[in-house]
Structure 1
Amino acid sequence: MPSEYTFQKWKNTLQNLEELVKLDTEYQTNKIHDADWCDAVIRLSSVLASYIFCYNNAIICYKQNLQVQKTSDILAVLKGILARIHELRHQVRRLEGDYYPYISGGLIQNKLTFDDVEMRDILINNKRPAVIRQMIEEAFDKSKKLQEGSLTGNIEENSKHPSANMDVNWWDEMDSKEEKKTKKGINITAIYKVQVKISEETLKRRSLLALIEAHEKTRQVTLSNNLKRLSRIRWEKELRGTLRTTALLYLRERSADIVQKLFRAYFKVKRQRISRLQRDELLGLMFCCKTNFDETKRNESTKYPEISSLLSKNIHEWQTNYLRLKNDFLKRRGDDIAEDIQDFVRYWFKTWYNEAKFFHDIPKEKQGGLAKILEDEIPTPLEWLELYKIYLEEQRLKKSKTAMEMKFEKMEAKREKHQLKLAEKRKKKIEADLVKKMMKNPNLNPGYSYPMSTKIMDITQAIRKYKETWLELDLLNINDVKEKFVRSIDVENMCAEAKKEICTKVEESMRAELKLLRISLKKDYDLENAQMPENFKEKNKYKKKKRKPRNQASLNLDDIKEKMEGLISNGFVREYPKTSLQDFLGDPQFAGDDLKYLYKSVHPSGWEIRSVWWEKCEELTHGFRRILLVGGNKCGKTTLVRAMATLNDALLYQIDPANLDDSKDYLQDLASDIVTCAKATQPSIIYFRNVHQLYYKKVPPNIVINADIIKKTLVKKIIKKISKTDNVTIIGTCIDPWLTKGNTILKHFQSVIMLPQTTYSTAQMILRNWVNRHRIVPCDLEIQTLARSLRDFSYGFILDTLESFLTSDRIIHIASQGLRSQDIHEYFLQNGTQPKTDHDKYKKWFTDKTHWGKFERKALEERLQFREAVLRWKEKEQKKKKKMTH
């Protein structure tokens, strides 16, 4: 059962996390440092890999948790781990000098694999309100109805002709029924099965393929029926006694011995072949075919589809039970508790009158209200009197000074504070420069210290809070701890919440009594001709203001709905298929660490891009971001955008400059509509396709758009109108960055991600998935050589060409004569319209123009200089030793 599995997995994960936090704290307290740069990177990457492994296990427990009360505690632990992961990634990047993570050395130390530390899921904090979701659903509904209504006229005209339905086949009718079923339900999250416009040639080819599949199905059913018929005939003959007698015992034993010898010889040859293939794979001669695990990875989140329904049922039951307990408690003890609180506050008034001849204010509701009095968080009368004396002295001094003198004192204090900050900055800069010089000197190199953490306390506090509540309950191993809820915890929380409600009700009457007491106290002071003490503001600690939620009532939903319908009908709001990060294919760069330690530049692979893109997906709900995806044509940019939208449940706005009108008024209205709808429906993604067309240094003759007007009126306006706190991300794609104005495009899109080239392993993965997906393709097809020849093409072009390869004629040819890898290679050569991408150009532009490219080049140059200095120092030391010996 998921609850038992989740319970045990969470206990193991928490234990591993405690050990990891202990090790991490030990590194920081003992001030561990490594003499070599490589050792420091491996140590940091090993700790990072362990935290990612704990995060992956913890998020599985969080998603599959059926215990309602544990959800908030597990979430607190998860947030602490996530903050520490981001901190460690930043430290590894600064130390290694590269934006892309290469952690194979850390994985080896912890005996982990790349699959263990690949982050696939994120924590979604902000969800759309129900009003906005309903508005989006209605807008998509209306646009679909308008599109269907525009097609009904053509359908009715075609239905009048008798020859219109002559070519309709049974498989076309089934497809149309399935399409009608899918059109009935519309997902609010705008993740739909997109109906692609298909050409007549493709439809004809699919109909022929369906006919072939129907023939194959008929053959299988006929074979099954014949086998059943033959088995029944055999059974009847056996009952009648007319069946042929079995062979003698000694003949059967001899035949069994022969079969055993043959099978033993077969499995011996098989074992030898497997060992030979494993040896060749280790030597790098060839890569063995592996099972396709893409479908299982894609369906990991839906492994237990009933969990969401069970959790919602448990939450509803928990809330009803909680409210019932609370109402019963208020009925039974509400009046008694109110009287006790009133008596306590009246005694507090009496104490203040006896000791200070004054009545302190009841704190406001924002400051805690009566709860602060009950918890004894207000100063005692004697402490207040001392503070009051200091306050009177300050007031006396202020009266003796003029307004200009007070203003000058404030300015002087502010200037001194600013000078102290500048002095501290100068001191830190001098220390950093000194350390940098020492790092370049082999004689004075202090090594690399393990960096201190500011986020590890969040993890320890979350673990401590969890153990205070659940440590003893987890040991009981009862069902209520694994799923549903624990009644004793509800009783404690309910009592505290009920008392708070009673305090708010009693507070009004107590404030009225305090007002009367102060009036009478004022009369007593007037009779004695004395001055009554006054309240003064006590200095409180500064609290960070929380971000206020958006007020949906202030939004004009009708206006937004109208704009949304216009954007959908014009194709600016796109439906996208559900996509995971694993759909962006690519293996990790296994030799990344080794190449770095050899002072060589490393090209990231698909795994490193997925790891960086996961961070960008997680940042979508943390404010405004601008990202530029750089790579060749059909290299997976749209796949990454759709994966981000799927993970964050975001709405996708897609803009192509080639399809826009050059009118200034039209572009201004379009920018205003997109910004308004994107802010209202956040989290949102604004996707600019082929944005390099707007930033060309020299516009090519085939580009006919007015780039300056679109750039100034649309792109700049959208960027300017979106604030930092909006959960909106703008993504632009660029194919030829070296032909663009680098400074301008990087000003508008600050974060740059360069997509990798198609490697041999990626091409082999595409071919292996293609073979497993189509049964007609022989499973023993030799794809190693073919993958080597296709590694320079973009994998989008490879996928499209492979799908167009299987025509009806070719399927019949494969069934009769088989398939060779040469046939596929010749088809690629015939349809090779896609040019090969020159990845060296992209790497050079990334190194010369972007921030992380310059940082990587500078770090590599400094390491090479240090290596040369070490070699020179070693030569001098050897010469000194030779002189000493002579």
Structure 2
Amino acid sequence: MSFDLNHKYWVSTRKEISQLLKKQNRLKKIEPPEKPVSFKIFSELYVLYVELVNKLTFIYHNTFQVQKRAVVRTLVESATQQLMKLKEELKALEISEYVYIDKALIARKLTPRDLVIWRSPQFLYRRPLDVQNILAENTLYMNDEEREEKAAKDWVPMSEAVKLIQAHERARSARVYMANLKYDKKKFMKVYQRKKINYRFTFKPDQAMSIPVKRTMFSADFIKPDESCEDLRRRDDMGDATEDIENLNRLRNNAACKIQTWWRGYRTRKIVKIKKRFKEELYGMKKVRKLKRPNQKENEIQDMYKKEMLKKKLDEDFINLINDERTRLLQVRCPWMMEDISDHIRAWFKEFYDKTENFHPYPPPVKKGTVLVVIDETMNPIDFQQTLGKKPMTKEEKKKQRDKEKQEKKKKKAKLKMIKMKEAKRRKKLRDQGIIDVGYELAASQPIINIEETMQTFAKDWRDIDEYLNKNHDPIVDWVTEEELSKIHQEVRGLVDEYMRVEYELLREALAKDRNEKYKRQKVKYPKEKKKKKKRVPKDMTADRTLESLFQELKDGGIIEDVARKDFDEFIADFNFLSDDTRDEDSLTTLGPAKGDIKMVIQESMLGMGEFDIPKPKSILLIGPLRSGKKLLCQIIASELNAVFMNLSPEKTYKFADDLKYFLHVVLKVAKAFQPTIIYFEEAHRLFWKRVPPEAREIKPKLLGTSINSKILKPLKKQDKIVLIGTSNTPWSAAGGIKKAFQKVLLIPKCDYGTSFLLWLELMTENAPDDMKEHAYSALARVLQAYSSGEITENIRETLNVQRKMRLQTEALDPHEFLECFISKNDPPIFPPEQKIMDKFTKWFGKFNSLQKSRNKFIAQRLAKASKKK
């Protein structure tokens, strides 16, 4: 992205932020609206914040000037936090994990896909350099080509190489033998039935080959005799001296002309067909049915890496600039600064002595010393003169004054608390009636306050700065000088105060001698050092081990697994476009979510795993029927986050049962050091089984069930980029402990028509792009809609194998072949999941998901009221 474009983008985004803030300020003054109006306001604001976050994120990752980047970062983080707040409000109004705001999208001419705010790798959390170096030595995030290159570089034993050569030579001989038999079985059977010569393969190290190895030359003629070529072959084979050369050339020329005629006709027909197809597409008569995936860039990671390196260099230069400027100021300005401070304090002494013939009490360090003099928070000479005639307060009077001040503070706190309680009760009462105080929610939002303050500060500080002229991303040196001067001034003033306090006491002592009064030294109150609470530090059982060795130990034990490079677009699914149009009298959606809606919820849950401080769940449970894409989603999340993938399924952890405490300690230590980290539990219901089947007792499935909440989730902090993800296809077989272990439960919806259509279209055109442009995708999607996405994917892979793709040009694909693959080629036949099972999933989900539980309760109350009216 060019500097000019980024600058224009930033200017336009600033205007949009100012317009958004004006709109919010107007909304802060409105009366609490009804539920439909509140939903409309929040949905419109949500769409605006989605666009704002997308733009600010893009600007942030293309802004290199250090001081400006800090401003944009604050805006991005605050806007994303407000976005998540708005989403929570919409979920509370919708009483569902899935929110449909089609009307707001239509007004902005957007689609549900535009609401996706995940931008990998822009949201990635950057690990420390030493941790990155450890991961770089592993093949954890290599693609297939990089893995092959690394494997090729690895040393291979000589015996393995010899076996490989022998295997290839035997395979080559077998292919030649089968090809010869297919050509002329009788002729070549006689050759291969001859007596075989015994041959023993020998190899001597460091010995050059006596005979150079060449490619295999096939002498067999695979062109069978044809009647049309009899004359040519006969004349070629005659070898007679009286051969007529002219007749031979004439026959050959005629043959060449015929071949050229057929080739030119074929080429012309193909070109005409391509042009006809192009015209039909241009006129809109036919369209190429190919799924287009958005936001795909081949070199996106490389571009991000280059930008990160440039930012790193600019950051280092900025730190060096600060250090150099601080050193220069300490050498050049510090002595004069100390002299100026001391002169100012002496002038303060003189002013009070000239007007009151006394000295103002020296401000103690606990009140920031003589900084009070600078900011005019000390008494003026007139007020100080009035205090001189008063008698000093006794201890009892001081105590009464302190008690009175404490009581006044308590009364103010109690009054504020009562006001807040009344306000909270009022809002709760309105919420129960379906009315939300939009003005209060916006006025009390801290992210909005942060955005307003940041924009005001930017407008004030940058009003005289021309950003367009700074194409080299140089820092503004004057700001660095001012900031360092301020820091040095505060540091130096404390030192000068100590010296001037000595001078102050000498003046007071001399004044006391002149007045023949008793001199009493002023007490100095220093700020108390905050005593650090001694936290109980748990014993580190691996203090003598390096992180690299612990990481390698878990990898060798099969706990840390390699993750293939995948993105959210590989989870092919469509959104629900009908729910918003089918609301009931309470404005609740009556249609369930589509499979594409689950991606939106998961992406929002993963935003807290990125660079910015955004709330996120500590653990997620994905439930759904077999082969519905649960594990694929977990792998996509790990790949998108560039996270370390730890598999703590029972079949992986049962071998660590003897020393479980040590094992969990190592897992948590590595997870925190190498975060972001995904801790994965396959079929998580096994950890909480009500009854363990006899065949599963060997792997001790309930080993970690009791430890998840206390040993893994409890030590995790909010800022830790670690999340537990579990999958389950029979969650009802688990006990109630599964609810405590997983904070968020998500049900993967069944495959709908849109998702099924996209699956058939995408996978079939990927397997055979030239032959699958015109096919009955809609019919396939409608008939086989109930099958899970994994079953459809496997069916396409088996049906469109290499042999079948070779026959596509001569034998068109019949849709019945896919049905036969489900029923005939599998034993037992594969049938779609029954509706009873899906109802079972929905029922269990309604008990364990808080929003769905509230929704079911609300619907039950509504039905009860309706039955009473009847």
Would you say same fold, with TM above 0.5? Answer: yes
Say which SS state the counterpart of residue 836 (structure 1) adopts. Answer: coil
Match of 1:799 among 793, 798, 821: 793
Q: Work out the CA distance in 2 between the residues paired with 1:486 and 1:560.
A: 38
Gaps of 5+ in 2: 173-270
- 1:468 is matched with 460
Equivalent residue runs for 1:834-873 within 5 Å: 836=833, 838-861=837-860
What whole-Å deviation, never above 9, does each CA across 1:156-210 have from its counterpart, x for those lacking one? 35636862453699xxxxxxxxxxxxxxxxxxxxxxxxxxxxxxxxxxxxxxxxx
Match of 1:653 among 609, 622, 646: 646
Give the AA of the match of 2:748: L
Give the AA of the match of 1:754: L
Q: CA deviation at 1:77?
A: 1.5
1:696 lines up with 2:684 in the alignment: no
Q: CA deviation at 1:850?
A: 2.5
Closer/same/farther in 2, CA of residues 671 and 555 from structure 1, 3 Å limit: closer
Q: Work out the CA distance in 2 between the residues paired with 1:670 and 1:821.
A: 52
- 1:281 is matched with none
Specify the structure having the higher radius of gyration (Cα). 2
Q: CA deviation at 1:7?
A: 1.4
Q: CA deviation at 1:384?
A: 8.9
Give the AA of the match of 1:466: F
What whole-Å deviation, never above 9, does each CA across 1:88-125 have from its counterpart, x for those lacking one? 11222222222222111221233332233221237759
Q: CA deviation at 1:749?
A: 1.1
Q: CA deviation at 1:72?
A: 0.9
Closer/same/farther in 2, CA of residues 738 and 264 from structure 1, 3 Å limit: closer
Q: CA deviation at 1:569?
A: 0.6
- 2:236 is matched with none
Match of 2:166 among 156, 163, 179: 163
CA contact (8 A) 1:627 1:749 kept: yes
Say which SS state the counterpart of residue 27 (structure 2) adopts. Answer: helix
Q: CA deviation at 1:459?
A: 1.6
CA contact (8 A) 1:51 1:81 kept: yes
Q: Work out the CA distance in 2 between the residues paired with 1:343 and 1:820.
A: 98
Q: Work out the CA distance in 2 between the residues paired with 1:394 and 1:575.
A: 75
Closer/same/farther in 2, CA of residues 499 and 164 from structure 1, 3 Å limit: same
Q: Work out the CA distance in 1 between the residues paired with 2:279 and 2:438.
A: 55
- 1:184 is matched with none
- 1:584 is matched with 571
Match of 2:545 among 544, 552, 558: 558
CA contact (8 A) 1:694 1:708 kept: yes
CA contact (8 A) 1:801 1:828 kept: yes
Q: Work out the CA distance in 1 between the residues paired with 2:299 and 2:76.
A: 22
Q: Work out the CA distance in 2 between the residues paired with 1:347 and 1:649.
A: 63
TM-score normalized by the length of structure 1:
0.71
Q: Work out the CA distance in 2 between the residues paired with 1:647 and 1:380.
A: 62
Gaps of 5+ in 1: 170-258, 278-287, 440-445, 873-886
Give the AA of the match of 1:69: Q
CA contact (8 A) 1:649 1:683 kept: yes
Say which SS state the counterpart of residue 711 (structure 1) adopts. Answer: coil
Q: Work out the CA distance in 2 between the residues paired with 1:659 and 1:342.
A: 71
- 1:242 is matched with none
Q: Work out the CA distance in 2 between the residues paired with 1:530 and 1:568.
A: 76
Closer/same/farther in 2, CA of residues 289 and 376 from structure 1, 3 Å limit: same
Q: CA deviation at 1:16?
A: 1.7
Match of 1:748 among 725, 736, 741: 741
- 2:732 is matched with 738
Q: Work out the CA distance in 1 between the residues paired with 2:440 and 2:859.
A: 21
Which shifted more, 450-459 or 519-528? Answer: 519-528
1:55 lines up with 2:43 in the alignment: no
Q: Work out the CA distance in 2 between the residues paired with 1:724 and 1:349.
A: 52
Closer/same/farther in 2, CA of residues 136 and 265 from structure 1, 3 Å limit: closer
Say which SS state the counterpart of residue 31 (structure 2) adopts. Answer: coil
Count of paired positions: 737
Q: Work out the CA distance in 1 between the residues paired with 2:44 and 2:457.
A: 27
Q: CA deviation at 1:668?
A: 2.5
Match of 1:615 among 604, 615, 637: 604
Closer/same/farther in 2, CA of residues 839 and 425 from structure 1, 3 Å limit: farther
1:817 lines up with 2:804 in the alignment: no
Q: Work out the CA distance in 2 between the residues paired with 1:53 and 1:816.
A: 50
CA contact (8 A) 1:49 1:107 kept: yes
Give the AA of the match of 1:495: E
1:494 lines up with 2:470 in the alignment: no
Q: Work out the CA distance in 2 between the residues paired with 1:100 and 1:265.
A: 42
Equivalent residue runs for 1:133-282 within 5 Å: 133-137=132-136, 156-157=159-160, 159=162, 163-166=166-169, 271=283, 273=285
Say which SS state the counterpart of residue 463 (structure 1) adopts. Answer: helix
TM-score normalized by the length of structure 2:
0.72
The alignment's C-alpha RMSD in Å is: 4.9
Q: Work out the CA distance in 2 between the residues paired with 1:450 and 1:498.
A: 42
CA contact (8 A) 2:683 2:728 kept: yes
Closer/same/farther in 2, CA of residues 556 and 835 from structure 1, 3 Å limit: farther
Give the AA of the match of 1:789: V
Equivalent residue runs for 1:594-605 within 5 Å: 594-597=581-584, 599-605=588-594
CA contact (8 A) 1:662 1:710 kept: no
CA contact (8 A) 1:140 1:565 kept: no
- 1:296 is matched with 296
Give the AA of the match of 2:98: Y
Q: CA deviation at 1:26?
A: 0.6
Give the AA of the match of 1:847: G
Give the AA of the match of 1:70: K
CA contact (8 A) 2:369 2:497 kept: no
Equivalent residue runs for 1:78-89 within 5 Å: 78-89=76-87
Identity level (%): 20
Q: Work out the CA distance in 2 between the residues paired with 1:470 and 1:503.
A: 25
- 2:185 is matched with none
- 1:789 is matched with 783
Q: CA deviation at 1:739?
A: 2.1
Say which SS state the counterpart of residue 112 (structure 2) adopts. Answer: coil
Q: CA deviation at 1:418?
A: 9.8
Q: Work out the CA distance in 1 between the residues paired with 2:400 and 2:341.
A: 45
CA contact (8 A) 1:28 1:451 kept: yes
Say which SS state the counterpart of residue 587 (structure 1) adopts. Answer: coil
Say which SS state the counterpart of residue 88 (structure 2) adopts. Answer: helix
